[in-house]
Amino acid sequence: MEHSSVKRVLSGIQPSGTLHLGNYFGMMRPALELQADHECYYFIADWHALTQLPDPKLLRERVRDVALDFLACGLDPERTVFFRQSDVPEVQELAWILSCICPVGLLERCHSYKDKIARGLAPNQGLFAYPVLMAADILAYGSHLVPVGKDQKQHVEVTRDLAIRFNHQYGGNLLVVPEPMIREEVAVVPGVDGQKMSKSYHNIIELAGEEKPMRKKIMSIKTDSTPVEAPKNPDMCNVFALYKLFATPEETEALRQRYLGGGMGYGEAKQKLFEKYWEHFRRFREQRAELVKTPDHVEQVLKAGALRARAAAGQTLAKIRQAVGLI
Ligand code: ADP
Ligand code: TRP
């Protein structure tokens, strides 16, 4: 684990709502697969969530829900350092230091900020400085790889830019310049309406849900009006795009042929998708139902993770303080 050739992986997720298939395929699953042969740091970005969630009770509940979801999906807290962002104050200190070398123009160009403002969110300083805090998250732990969905790529680029600037200004290779890790095949998971699946678009398919409503939701996925008998284009279909994520290459090819051959309605494809979905998350649902019964255990996991995270961030900060002249 601690061997220097092992790459350190870090990612975070905001506790801003129920986790969905976009989060799962875009970020969680790739991140969890890396546990086998990397040193992983995964955290719940509660400071980031404060930019949009001024409700203390809801924030606490959502942090707990994300922790449950990750653990039920197979995050192994022995192997992986799993923690709450706000339990590591060193990161805020680094965020301040980075903000002092960050050109305002770099933040003004960030799509995520511009999109949020366009959607009517009040432009608070936290929202604007969000990428600097994200850079501090990544750089505090000396992370090499950052598995995220495509929409976060620009934030990792800002991080790289800040690390390079910092190293240039203060000399040496104090900060590790990280690489984003984006799976192209799951770069954008579509929602039930065909747009990018996102909490903000109200088009999500949750990981956990009751059978009946989840079946109904999957049956409601938007398709075109090609009649049953006619051949259909699988590559233009949201149902097929989601099916591919669950199915083996052989199963995907078989369904592709059914689309191309005609004679299959979208209802049948949706039914197949539901079965895959339901089976895929069976173990997840069982594990989650067990974990819900032991909230203290979940809290202990996060606290123990925070101790390990603080130790790593503390080492980085000692070097940084020295370099910038704070000691
Ligand atoms: P949301 O858009 O629902 O608010 P977040 O922005 O909190 O989701 O995303 C959390 C993580 O999940 C990020 O790494 C993001 O890139 C990934 N992700 C979210 N939605 C999708 C999607 N539809 N396809 C692929 N990855 C996604
Ligand atoms: N901004 C990320 C999101 O909304 C969450 C996040 C915060 C993050 N800090 C991070 C992701 C550091 C990767 C690395 O999804």
Substitution site in 121, 151, 185 for ligand 1 pocket (most atoms within 8 Å of beta carbon):
151
- Give the number of the ligand closest to the Cα of residue 22: 1
Catalytic residue among 7, 150, 153, 199: 199
The Cα 322–Cα 320 span in angstroms is 5
Q: How far is the CA of 12 from the centre of ligand 2 (A)?
A: 4
Give the pLDDT score at 96: 98
Write a three-state SS string for the chain: CCCCCCCEEEEEECCCCCCEHHHHHHHHHHHHHHHHCCEEEEEECHHHHHCCCCCHHHHHHHHHHHHHHHHHCCCCCCCCEEEEHHHCCHHHHHHHHHHCCCCHHHHHCCHHHHHHHHCCCCCCHHHHHHHHHHHHHHHHCCCCEEECCHHHHHHHHHHHHHHHHHHHHHCCCCCCCCEEECCHHHCCCECCCCCECCHHHCCCCECCCCHHHHHHHHHCCCCCCCCCCCCCCHHHCHHHHHHHHHCCHHHHHHHHHHHHHCCCCHHHHHHHHHHHHHHHCHHHHHHHHHHCCCHHHHHHHHHHHHHHHHHHHHHHHHHHHHHHCCC
Residues contacting residue 223 through CB under 8 Å, at least 6 positions apart:
237, 238, 239, 266
Exposed e or buried b per residue across 166-189, where buried means at least 16 C-beta atoms within 10 angstroms of its C-beta: bbeebeeebbbbbebbbbeebebb
Substitution site in 11, 34, 70, 143 for ligand 2 pocket (most atoms within 8 Å of beta carbon):
11
Domains of the chain: 8-188+295-324 (3.40.50.620), 209-280 (1.10.240.10)
Please give the residue that has the higher pLDDT: either 256 or 26: 256
Report percent pLDDT > 70 for the chain.
98
Please give the model's pTM, rounded to 2 decimal places.
0.91
Closest residue by Cα to atom 9, ligand 2, is 134
Q: Tell me: the pLDDT tens digits for 153-169?
A: 999 999 999 999 999 99
Instruction: Please confirm, yes or no, whether 199 is among the known catalytic residues.
Output: yes
Give the pLDDT score at 327: 85
Give the pLDDT score at 4: 59
Answer whether residue 5 shows pLDDT above 80.
Answer: no
Answer whether residue 26 shows pLDDT above 90.
Answer: no
Is 135 within 8 Å of 163 (Cβ atoms)?
yes
The finding on whether 110 has its CB within 6 A of some atom of ligand 2 is no
Is 190 within 8 Å of 198 (Cβ atoms)?
no
Answer whether residue 228 shows pLDDT above 60.
Answer: yes
Answer whether residue 7 shows pLDDT above 90.
Answer: yes
Determine the atom of ligand 1 nearest the C-alpha atom of 191: 23
Q: Tell me: the pLDDT tens digits for 266-308?
A: 999 999 999 999 999 999 999 999 999 999 999 999 999 999 9
Model confidence band, residue 143 (pLDDT cutoffs 50, 70, 90): very high
Model confidence band, residue 53 (pLDDT cutoffs 50, 70, 90): confident
Instruction: Please confirm, yes or no, whether 150 is among the known catalytic residues.
Output: no
Q: How far is the CA of 14 from the centre of ligand 1 (A)?
A: 9
Q: Tell me: the pLDDT tens digits for 57-101?
A: 999 999 999 999 999 999 999 999 999 999 999 999 999 999 999
What H or E segment, with its residue span, contains residue 117? helix 111-118
Give the pLDDT score at 1: 43
Mean pLDDT confidence for 202-230: 95
Give the pLDDT score at 2: 45
Give the pLDDT score at 106: 97
Model confidence band, residue 3 (pLDDT cutoffs 50, 70, 90): very low
Q: Tell me: the pLDDT tens digits for 166-179?
A: 999 998 899 999 99
